[in-house]
Amino acid sequence: MDRLLVLVRHGQSDWNLKNLFTGWRDPDLTPVGVEEAKNAGKRLKALDLSFGIAFTSALTRAQHTLKLILDEVGQPDLQTIRDQALNERDYGDLSGLNKDDARAKWGEEQVHIWRRSYDIAPPGGESLKDTGARVWPYYLFNILPPVMRGEKVLVAAHGNSLRALIMALEGLTPEEILQRELETGVPIVYRLNADTTVAEKRVLKG
Catalytic residue numbers read 10, 88
Tell me the chain's radius of gyration from C-alpha atoms. 17
- 119 appears as a binding residue in the annotation: no
- What b/e sequence results for 159-178 when a residue is b if at least 16 CB atoms lie within 10 Å of its CB, and e otherwise? bbbbbbbbbbbeeeeeeebb
Among residues 166, 185, 183, the alpha carbon closest in space to that of 68 is found at 185
- 191 appears as a binding residue in the annotation: no
- 11 appears as a binding residue in the annotation: yes
80: enclosing H helix or E strand: strand 80-82
- 2 appears as a binding residue in the annotation: no
- 116 appears as a binding residue in the annotation: yes
Burial of 60 (0-12, 13-18, 19+ CB in 10 A): middle
- 24 appears as a binding residue in the annotation: no
- Nearest 5°: the CA angle 178, 151, 171 is 25
- 61 appears as a binding residue in the annotation: yes
- 160 appears as a binding residue in the annotation: yes
Asked whether 154 and 51 are in contact (CB, 8 A), the reply is yes
Among residues 171, 159, 170, 151, the alpha carbon closest in space to that of 128 is found at 159
- 127 appears as a binding residue in the annotation: no
Which residues lie closer than 8 Å to 60 by C-beta, 6 or more apart? Answer: 26, 27, 28
- 159 appears as a binding residue in the annotation: yes
- 190 appears as a binding residue in the annotation: no
* Binding site feature residues for substrate: 9-16, 22-23, 61, 88-91, 99, 115-116, 159-160
